[in-house]
Amino acid sequence: MVIGEVMDYSPLILSAKLALVATGLLLVLALPLTHGLTFARFKGKFLVEALVGLPLVLPPTVIGFYLLVAMGPDGGLGRLAQMVSGRPLVFTFAGMIVASMIHTLPYAMQPLKTAFERLDRRLLETAYVLGLSPVAAFFRVVLPNTMNGLAAAAVLAFAHCMGEFGVVLMVGGSIPGETRVASIAIYEYVETLRYQEAWQLSLALVLISYLVLLAVTFLNRGERYA
Amino acid sequence: MGRTIAIILLIAAIFSAKPSRAEQVVAVAVAANFATAMEEVAALFTRETGIRVQASYSSTGKLYAQIKHGAPYDLFLAADEERPQLLHEAKLAEVPVIYASGRTVLWSGRPDLVEETDWQAVLARQDVKRVALPTPEIAPYGQAAFQAMATAGIWELVKPRLVYAQNVAQAFQYGEKRAVDVCFTALSYARSQSGQAGRVWEIETAPAVVQKGCVLTRAANRAAARRLLDFLGASPAKAILATHGYR
């Protein structure tokens, strides 16, 4: 538990793992959710829209506090996890993924929503007239035409998870190798006056994030549909 | 046109609003564990001297970094001895003095643990699966708990069950919300209203956490800062500190 004399980069790897897993799961979750909120018509839609946007408004430590309660042994999510895996969710890597996903959901949904709204409705209507099922239409018409939005959602979600601090500080518990991610490690270096290490880890975090964002932007270049 | 002028006047009024009479204010940077005690001491100090206390609560490390970079505080009440000493060596503070001495305790909100009489017996239980500890490198109270565990030879036993908190406040919060079974925290938290709902075990072998304070040389109001630091050492304040578990 003593922070080693040699620079320890494991928090960085943990951060990258957290961001990648959370982003992947988020896209799977955000795609149908955003699709539903954009195209479906139901009563109280605006209520759901406002609800998923809440993490944008609430301070991260406040979200973290509520998640701490919800994911603890007495909370709903915690009890559910206890039944499934035998452990409460709080202070585990899985718990951090859940927390990051909830906090990052609006960041993943916003670009998707914009992309869905821009989609030419005539394309969809044509697909239905030609006999495509809604699911087939989603994969063969909607998705290929909203790749930009998907890429933007992935970038935003990844960046947000990578740098997230307040929520994971609350529900993580800073366990080395399991929940001590880069942002927390940097914070702890600063707290212990080890500014040199803090600076090194920050630089590495920025570099990795920049490279990932660069890669996505590069891959996305060829996908522009006018 | 009239409306524009009205809005400008309104904005000007908001920004020019000042306390009605000139009053003395002392700005204090306070370590988070001392927050509840500070509120009471500050109220008494203001009543007796007429000097208003403007307290900012944060971790000692963060306050130290802020002060080094010119934060406009008059007095620094740290949770350790090291940081005030470093500021003094950097000529940013006068000679530090001890203003409080805190105790590290083990605390739990679990009703079934009430019967246990000894902190080591609590930690030896198989059903105590999660233990919150303020990160020893950051938090002096966590350091004291670590030393007590090392002395008792149970550190390796407890280590796999540890969850690290940023400070005593967060460790206590984890315990109070039952996210952990037991937590190491400061006696001041165990004495708080929510702390009294649980069970506290004293740790005699944990070294006392000596908290030092220092008047900052850049202080806008050095005289008032010195007065408050002296006030903390006088008997009325001492009595308040004792109810919060400080010596």
Instruction: Report residue B16's pLDDT band, with 50, 70 and 90 as the boundaries.
Output: low
Domains of chain A in sequence order: 10-38+48-221 (1.10.3720.10)
Identity of residue A222: G
In A106-135, the residues whose Cβ lies within 8 Å of chain B are none
Bridge partners of A115? Answer: none
pLDDT single digits (tens) A90-121: 889 999 999 999 999 999 999 999 999 998 88
pLDDT tens across B148-159, in order?
999 999 999 999
The tokens describing A146, both together, are 């909203």
| 3-class secondary structure per residue, B158-204 | HHHHEEEECCHHHHHHHHHCCCCCEEEEEHHHHCCCCHHHCEEEECC
Contact criterion met (CB below 8 Å) for A83 and A115: no
pLDDT given for residue A216 in this prediction: 75
CB contact A5 to B (< 8 Å):
no
Q: Among partner residues B61, B178, B180, which is closest to A192 by beta-carbon distance?
A: B61
Flag the least confident range among B9-23, B29-43, B144-158.
Answer: B9-23
pLDDT of A226 reads: 39
Q: What is the residue-averaged pLDDT of chain B?
A: 90
Q: Is B163 touching A (CB cutoff 8 A)?
A: yes
* Minimum CA–CA partner of A188 in chain B: B138
- Chain A contact for B177 (CB, 8 A cutoff): yes
In one letter, which amino acid is A98? V
Helices (H) and strands (E) in chain B, counts: 11, 10
Burial A197-210 (b: 16+ CB within 10 A, else e): bbeebbebbeebbe
Q: Residue B22's pLDDT band (boundaries 50, 70, 90)?
A: low
Residues of chain A contacting B163 with CB distance shorter than 8 Å: 91, 173-175
pLDDT number for residue B15: 64
pLDDT at residue A49, rounded to an integer: 87
Query: Do A68 and B130 count as a contact with CB atoms less than 8 A apart?
Result: no
* A188 interfaces chain B, CB cutoff of 8 Å: yes
Backbone angles phi, psi at B52, to 5 degrees: -80, 140
Q: What is d(CA A205, CA A197) in angstroms, rounded to the nearest whole number?
A: 12
Quickly list DSSP for chain A.
-PPPSS---HHHHHHHHHHHHHHHHHHHHHHHHHHHHHH---TTHHHHHHHHHHHHHS-HHHHHHHHHHHHSTTSHHHHHHHHHHSS-STTSHHHHHHHHHHHHHHHHHHHHHHHHHHS-HHHHHHHHHTT--HHHHIIIIIHHHTHHHHHHHHHHHHHHHHH--HHHHHHH---TTTT--HHHHHHHHHHTT-HHHHHHHHHHHHHHHHHHHHHHHHHHGGG---
pLDDT (mean) for B64-84 = 90
Question: Sign (positive/negative) of CA torsion A187, A191, A197, A199?
Answer: positive
Query: Is B135 in Cβ contact with A188 (below 8 Å)?
Result: yes
**Overall residue count recorded for chain A in this entry:** 226
- Residue-level pLDDT at B196: 92
In this predicted model, what pLDDT tens digit does every residue of A162-201 receive, in sequence order?
989 989 988 888 888 888 999 999 988 877 778 888 999 9
The alpha carbon dihedral of B51, B56, B57, B58 has a sign of: negative
Q: Would the CB atoms of A180 and B164 count as touching at under 8 Å?
A: yes
Q: Which two tokens stand for residue B70?
A: 């010119």
B137 to chain A: which residues are within 8 Å by CB?
Answer: 2-3, 188, 191-192
Q: What is the pLDDT of residues B100-112, one digit of tens each?
A: 999 999 999 999 9
**CB contacts, 8 Å: A170 with chain B:** 170
Strand, helix or coil at B209?
strand
| Phi, psi dihedral angles at B182 (to 5 degrees) | -140, 160
B172–A contact, CB cutoff 8 A:
no
The domains of chain B, with CATH numbers, are 22-101+209-243 (3.40.190.10), 104-202 (3.40.190.10)
Structure confidence at residue A3 as a pLDDT band (50, 70, 90): very low
The per-residue pLDDT of chain A, averaged, comes to 87
Q: How far apart are CA B108 and CA B118, in angstroms?
A: 12
| pLDDT of A72 over the 80 cut | yes
Q: How far is B136 from chain A (nearest CA, A)?
A: 9
pLDDT at site A106 = 94
Beginning with the edge strand found earlier in the chain, give each strand of the sheet holding B199-202 in spatial order.
B162-165, B131-134, B182-186, B104-108, B199-202
For residues B221 and B22, is the Cβ–Cβ distance under 8 A? no
A138-162 confidence digits (pLDDT tens) = 899 888 988 888 988 998 999 999 9
Residues of B in contact with A90 (CB under 8 A): 179
Q: How far apart (Å, rounded) are the C-alpha atoms in residues B163 and A1?
A: 11
| Predicted complex ipTM | 0.71
Q: Is A88 on the interface with B (CB under 8 A)?
A: yes
What pLDDT was estimated at residue A91? 87
Residue A190 CB partners (closer than 8 Å, separation 6+): A198, B61, B62, B65
Average pLDDT in the B61-76 region? 88
Residues 6+ apart with CB under 8 A from B26: B51, B52, B53, B54, B74, B75, B221, B224, B225, B227, B228
Residue of B171, B174, B109, B170 whose CA lies nearest to A69: B174
pLDDT at B183 over 80: yes
Task: Give the chain B residue whose CA is nearest to the CA of A178.
Answer: B163
Confidence of residue B10 (pLDDT cuts 50, 70, 90): low
B154 φ/ψ angles, rounded to the nearest 5 degrees = -115, 10
Contact B179 A169 (CB under 8 A): no
Asked if A173 and B137 come within 8 Å (Cβ–Cβ), the reply is no
Q: What is the pLDDT of residue B121?
A: 95
Mutation site, A2, A71, A184, A193, interface B, largest B CB count within 10 A: A193
* Residue A207 predicted with pLDDT over 50: yes
Is the Cβ of B75 closer than 8 Å to some Cβ of chain A? no
Q: Pick from B208, B230, B211, B227: which is nearest to B219 by CA?
A: B227
Alpha helix (H) residue ranges in B17-59: 35-49
Give mean pLDDT, residues A53-77: 88
Residue B113, pLDDT > 70, answer yes
Read off the pLDDT band of B241 (50, 70, 90): very high
* Main-chain phi, psi angles of A203, to 5 degrees: -60, -45
The amino acid present at B178, given as its one-letter code, is R
DSSP B244: T
State whether A192 and B137 contact (CB < 8 Å).
Answer: yes
And the tokens for B108?
């739990």
- Most distant CA pair in chain A, distance: 67
Q: State the pLDDT at residue B210.
A: 95
Q: Is B138 within 8 Å of A191 when comparing Cβ atoms?
A: yes
Residue-level pLDDT at A222: 57
pLDDT category at B167 given cuts 50, 70, 90 is confident
> In Å, how far is A149's CA from the nearest CA of chain B?
38
For residue B233, pLDDT beyond 90: yes
Residue B50: predicted pLDDT: 93
Contact status of A180 with chain B (Cβ, < 8 Å): yes
Q: In 3D, which of B60, B61, B149 has the Cα closest to residue B104?
A: B149
